[in-house]
Amino acid sequence: DGSISLQARKCGVYGEDLVYEKQYHNLGHWKNSEDYASWEVEVPHDGVYNVTMEWACPADTSGNNFLIKQKVLN
């Protein structure tokens, strides 16, 4: 169907607080704005793509900002 799934177990984890939680297969403790996760993906062709995310967070971090960006590698 053309979907690309970026699973937490397949990313690079960077920063002081962010960790991959193997027991839950998720990224946890993502509270520092300097922390980030990175996936390397080969996109089959140029086009417009819809991006969706699934996440959960405790009430004290609800409303924090996030950024999704792309980096084109040649």
For residue 71, what pLDDT is reported? 84
Count the helix, strand and coil residues of the chain and give each as a percent rounded to the nearest 5.
Answer: 10, 15, 75
Return the pLDDT at 58.
Answer: 84
Could you list the pLDDT tens digit for every one of the 74 residues in the chain?
Answer: 888 899 999 999 999 999 999 999 999 998 888 999 999 988 888 888 888 888 888 888 888 888 888 888 77
pTM of the model: 0.79
Q: Which of 55, 59, 49 is nearest to 70 (CA)?
A: 49
* Res 13: pLDDT: 97
